[in-house]
Amino acid sequence: MLLCRLRPAALGRRDVSQQLEVKDAVAEMLLRLERGVSQDEHGQRFACELHLASVPVIPGPRLAAVACQKLGPTWAFPSFGRCHLVTQDVQSLGQEDLDLAVREAIFSTVAAARAEGFHVQVCRHDLFHGHLFRGERGEVGILLHACEYPSQNDDFPVNLGFCQADTQVKYEDTVMQHRNILLLFSRRLRAFVLDAESDCVKALIPEYARKPMYTLYEDTLGEPLADMYFLSSEEKLGWVQRRSSKVHL
């Protein structure tokens, strides 16, 4: 079970007024980030902008359109014994140059996050997938979830199944609260590590998904378009298209 999929079906739903508040808060946060502002109106920092060594040009609308079109050949993403990181076959993106650019953006983001002192690495227990979404105002971004399979202990008493076995990702609050990493494809690519304990981000996370999980859901940011899976910068991304119907925030 993916940590970012651990979501009670009947818990944490917000009423209509709360959903509108969340949508407004998301729009405000994304607008600030697109402008390179990582502090809220009270001056509290809610994100760390990363300085990417390589900044590929990726038009957000083009990426969204291609990801929603018919994808390429189907193939099986690597599994590890009884651990299946994705429970269905994945597909190739229709345009190889775009797939390569997205890959470059993801791995450049990981390198930049590590350079800033954040504990994240691409591997089957930590970061291996992301979620492509389109915001209410047309923003296109990818939400990466790191620390997907931390070790189970007193601080993290959550059984995530076979993929959690033999994990080398040790649970730490200060690491987990920075597990949500956001890429925005605006006029230029921007990447941020979000702080799930900041008021701005915490308000977007349902209570059941806060500490110790610290999971910001992609459908809170907008319409999920596709998921992508990766373990190596040398291999193409594995894509899974998402239904366009919205789920409860």
pLDDT tens track for 11-63 = 455 566 677 788 889 999 999 999 999 999 899 999 999 999 988 899 999 99
What pLDDT is stored for residue 2 in this prediction? Answer: 62
Mean pLDDT of 96-104: 96
For the residues 67-80, what does the mean pLDDT come to? 94
**Residue recorded with tokens 């607008």:** 31
What was the pLDDT predicted at 54? 85
pLDDT of 69 higher than 50: yes
Q: Longest Cα pair distance anywhere in the chain, in angstroms?
A: 49
Instruction: Kindly report, residue by residue over 161-186, the tens digit of the pLDDT.
Output: 999 999 999 999 999 999 999 999 98
4-8 average pLDDT score:
55
| pLDDT for the residue 20 | 77
Nearest to 194 by CA among 32, 64, 76, 68: 32
pLDDT of residue 187: 86
- pTM for the whole structure: 0.91
Write down the mean pLDDT value for the chain: 91
* Opening angle at CA 122, ends 120 and 127, nearest 5: 70
